[in-house]
Amino acid sequence: MSTALRIAHGAFGRVALLDMDWSLVRHAHPHCHVLLKVEGADTQFVVGDTVYQLTDESAVLVNGWQPHSYVHDPKKPRSVILALYIEPEWLTAFRPGWAASGAPGFFSHPSGEVSPRIRSLAMNLAADMMTRPEARNAHESALSDLMIAVIERFTPWRSFPASIREMSVRSGDWRIRRVAASMRTETKPGAVLDSFAKEAGLSRAHFFRLFESSIGVPPKVYLNVVRMEQAVDAVLNRSASVCDISNQLGFAEPAHFTRFFRNHAGVGPREFRKVSRLAS
């Protein structure tokens, strides 16, 4: 079973140091997502429909709302992975155009060769998280240096808007925007996608096609992203028990909630909470 070694969270988003030996289901995040190997076996992720290797020399780069999954080979040793989930708003402090990090196409390719500087910064951040879990300011400073190096190497950042005035927002179809807003208030796992298609006034097939073209992921994946972000927020920021959170999010049994959480995060909610609070 996978283990969370350290989890840091703040205005920047989340940084997780994960000791992985468990595959993750196909999922997505509203953040840009950077995966860097720290030690252990080389491993791989599926981004879209293509397999990309995660090694000492190569990173995996996932755009916001881009479906991906972790594929663990049980014949190989465990892999320690530094996983970055970065909030677009935090990146605007460095350059306004970097708010585009939450949109499709921010990373030009899902994989890239790691520079010696990125490798060094990632290893230093991982080591500092392990030895000084309470040093949150130092972690955020190290993360700032790492993300600047990642963006400058793996994105066409010079072409991003230099000012807020130049930025445009991908709006998509108004019916899909309205339904997506409804989905963000829906916590029950039993939500029927046909009801959202009806709300949009579309046939099921047309709804699915239009939703994916507008948002970037199928409606079912979008719902799971919303539930997972709600679950992470509750586990990190509420004092309620995991059983109570499970009930509040509409899961029939706490075991169902724990399985859902583990399949998306690699570890269960109790371990996620325990490890993240080491830095509090």
Q: What is the pLDDT of residues 73-92, one digit of tens each?
A: 999 999 999 999 999 999 99
pLDDT tens digits along 29-46: 989 999 999 999 999 999
Q: DSSP letter at 277?
A: G
Of the candidates 26, 107, 113, 118, the one whose C-alpha atom is nearest the C-alpha of residue 62 is 107
Give the N- to C-terminal CA distance of the chain in Å, as an integer.
Answer: 25
* Encoded tokens for 78: 């465990």
pLDDT tens digits along 175-204: 998 888 888 887 566 567 888 899 999 999
pLDDT band at 171 (very low <50, low <70, confident <90, very high): low
What pLDDT score was predicted for residue 187? 59
pLDDT band at 164 (very low <50, low <70, confident <90, very high): very low
Give the span between the Cα atoms of 142 and 224, in whole angstroms.
31
Measured over the CA atoms of residue 157, residue 13, residue 6 and residue 130, the dihedral's sign is positive
For a pLDDT cut of 90, what percent of the chain falls above it?
A: 67
Give the span between the Cα atoms of 95 and 161, in whole angstroms.
9
Average pLDDT, the chain: 90
Q: Could you tell me the domains of the chain?
A: 3-166 (2.60.120.10), 174-279 (1.10.10.60)
State if pTM tops 0.85. Answer: yes
pLDDT of 206 above 90: yes
pLDDT of 20 above 60: yes
